Amino acid sequence: MVMSPNLSLTNDQREIILTMGRTIPESDVIVLSASSENHYDEMQAMFQNLHTVVYPNMANFTMVLFDIGLTKEQRSTVITFPVNFFKSIHEEQYLLCLETFDCTGMLTLCLYWASIVKARKCLVYQDVSVRWLNDFHITFDRANHYGHQMFLFKSSIRSTLIHRCSGIWKKIPARSCPTRSLKLPQCYTTQAMSVSNITMKNENYVVIFVISVLIVLVYIALSRNCAEIAHPTVKRTRKVAADETNLSSQSQATLIRQLTDLLLYRLSQPNNAEKILFTESCDTVASKSELGCTNYSCPRGINPDPGARVKSMVMSPNLSLTNDQREIILTMGRTIPESDVIVLSASSENHFDEMQAMFQNLHTVVYPNMANFTMVLFDIGLTKEQRSMTERNCKCHVVTFPVHLFKAYMKNNFCYAWKPLIVLASIVKARKYLVYQDASVRWLNDFHITFDRTNKYGHQMFRYRNSIRSTLNTYPQMFQFMEEDPCTFMPYPELHATSMLHKNDPLVVKTVLEPWARCALDETCMCPVEPSKSIVCKRDSFIQHRCHRFDQSAITLIMGKMYGDDIYRFLAPADAKSVSINQSQTSLIKELTNILLYRLSQPNDAEKIRHTESCDTVASKTEIACTNYSCPRGINPDAGARVRNMVMSPKFSLSTDQREMILTVGKTIPESKVIILSASSANHYAEMQAMFQNLHTVVYPNMASFTMVLFDIGLTRKQRSTVINF
């Protein structure tokens, strides 16, 4: 195609053609048409269709109409349409273009080439006979994925091969279709019923339309800019979403087939992510480890059929948003400007310090190396002063999370139900992909590796190094809501919800992000138990449903349902040095406070000890504890404040060097469920022997998986040698 002299433009030819479009403004998308006097009525109907169906649901586009023979009166009425650009083809330009190709009837092709160079992404050409239907976005989005969307006549029209001979177009006439008022559904195969009512005045029109479509494919392929189609605005997305909710069964089937095709394409891509399959039987693993395993007695696994998985995600009432739910969510992001990439985070008052460190990282590592992106921060509880400072310094778009629009449990940030909602609200403004990060995330210099993989594979997720099986940290109510058996998910590792990247395309939105948001809107799914009672995961317990991880549990289950054993394909490679996820002091204090509150809530039969007698009467005559009622302050009754005081005080905190030195002392101690620890010197040797006698007879026989550790803090050589014999 590139080397053939008959298919290559000379410099002069190219320059002549490009001159025709030099005044067309650049846009993401160019919608192009042309009209002459005898097609004026059709052109009016075309604009009526564009105004009602396409214009309200597109962003960053230019409509270009070339005048190839309108009368002066017709042209004046056309200009009353809100056409972004109107271009006349003067007679000399028309002849010059035709002379360039030494043929007649090639004007349309000149217009294609003159216009597409002004499209940053794609050109949509339509004759005036074309009418787009509400589902036009399906075809437009397929262009984003496949590079072209062409339309084929059915076999009943035999005019697909056209030859030029001596300047005269020759054709094979259509046989089965009437020559006048030919309606598209009778003789035309459409993509997802997204275009209709192409009226063909005569056989000549059929021929010219077909040849123009076939030839333009070559020229569009030569354009380096035609890669993507503009993504919808919030308004368009609401309309599309509403349409999709009420799709006919035929349209539902079309959507599922298209999403399945996209899934199969992604699964076919070469991928260097490590394949993760936990095939060891849970009979041997589950009772002694957190690792994933396979329950071979489980009545069902993840469906191996990609199409069935897509259908399950799209058709399930529990995983689908209603029109009202979708509209409320998308309203949250209406003020976010469109960009190629949306970087998204959220913060409340207690994460303000972390958030500042996050922005420091973004400003130094990410911002200088990214173009055409918007940083969005959702305010989920900042103070007025914190928000004001953030807006001044963050170089970001700050949005208030409208908690009043949702049920009461949404006010508890520790349910994390806000996260799936802000992700869905924001991704519709990303022309390419969205990057979500908690305030604890710090990007490294190679962040672009992970970002670039998102565009190719659709997601980039992160997992814990130890691959904790998801059933340990997910309550049964979530499995019930998703109509799944917990044993099905035992092989699948828990995913991070602190950082994730998603591409804005129908497969990701319809099969992952909308189901995630749907779960967030139902308390029984996302937050079935008060967070302070469910957040603590006892690492030495391997019991199913030992705790609950809210948004993290939900995204893990949804990714598992959707991708099954192929889930590893959507994980960032373990060796990708692109991100560091830190447990900051704020996160640590929150987690420790939750653990403390949980422990304080447990039933306890220990005797309550509180010495309330005044020290004025007790202190001078006894050792017993008492209360000094004149003391200016007591122990802080706020559990969180007490934790914070212990963690943050310099006098109670170890430096890194101090901690490293201490931990070195125990480096040879083997791991066990229980460590029994003691120490002895020479003068306590006899006592130590009695202690071991007791341990051997009472404790050792009744304990499993423990290690007894004795630190020698001054034994003689002889004493030590006898200890080793124990």
pLDDT per position as a tens digit, 147-177 = 788 875 433 322 222 223 333 333 333 333 3
From 221, 249, 269, give the residue that closes a domain.
221
Question: Please, what is the Cα angle at 562 between 560 and 567, to 5 degrees?
Answer: 50
Query: From CA 258, how far away is CA 194, in angstroms rounded?
Result: 13
CB of 442 closer than 8 Å to CB of 584: no
For residue 41, tell me if it sits in a domain.
Answer: yes
CA 439 to chain centre: 17
Residues 195 and 166 in one domain: yes
For the purposes of burial, counting CB atoms within 10 Å of the CB of 648, is it exposed (0-12), middle (13-18) or buried (19 or more)?
A: exposed
Domain match, 565 and 694 both: no
Q: What is the CATH number of the domain that holds 136?
A: 3.90.550
Supply the range of the domain harboring residue 147: 5-221
pLDDT (mean) for 117-141: 80
Q: Are residues 57 and 202 in the same domain?
A: yes
Per the domain annotation, does 606 fall within a domain? no
Residue 278 has pLDDT above 50, yes or no: yes
Residues 708 and 643 occupy one common structural domain: no
In this structure, are residues 673 and 706 in contact, taking their beta carbons and an 8 Å threshold?
A: yes
pLDDT band with cut points at 50, 70 and 90 for residue 195? low
Asked whether residue 202 falls in the same domain as residue 291, the answer is no
Residue 246 lies in a domain: no
Helices 249-267 and 136-146 pack at an angle, to 10 degrees, of 10
**Range of weakest confidence among 132-141, 297-306, 311-320, 435-444:** 132-141
Instruction: Give the model's pLDDT for residue 53.
Output: 87
What is the domain count for the chain? 4
pLDDT confidence of residue 389? 95
Classify residue 412: in a domain, yes or no.
yes
Q: Which residue has the higher pLDDT, 594 or 44?
A: 44
The token duo for 128 is 């005036």
* Residue with token string 């392929």: 221
Based on the domain organization, do 645 and 665 belong to the same domain?
no
Q: Tell me which residue of 714, 710, 694, 711 sits closest to 702, measured CA to CA.
A: 694
> Do 10 and 142 share a domain, yes or no?
yes
Considering the domain architecture, whether residues 48 and 120 belong to the same structural domain is answered as yes
Q: In this structure, are 369 and 469 located in the same domain?
A: yes
498 within some domain: yes
Q: What percent of the chain stands above pLDDT 90?
A: 45
C-alpha distances (whole Å) from 629 to each of 490, 609, 613, 620, 622 are 56, 17, 9, 15, 17
Is 50 exceeded by the pLDDT of residue 193? no
pLDDT digits (tens, 9 = 90+) for 359-399: 999 999 999 999 999 999 999 999 999 999 999 999 999 99
Token pair for residue 726? 């124990």
Has residue 448 been placed in a domain?
yes
**Chain-wide mean pLDDT for the chain?**
80
| Extended beta strands in 176-289, E state | 188-189, 195-196
Lowest-pLDDT range, 210-214, 238-242, 685-689?
238-242
Residue 148 lies in a domain: yes
Phi and psi at residue 400, to the nearest 5°:
-80, 130
Residues 451 and 525 in one domain: yes
588 in the same domain as 571: no
Distance CA 568, CA 459 (A): 11
Domain assignment of residue 226, yes or no: no
Q: Which residue has the higher pLDDT, 445 or 114?
A: 445
420 & 537 share domain: yes
Across 133-147, 170-184, 319-333, least confident range: 170-184
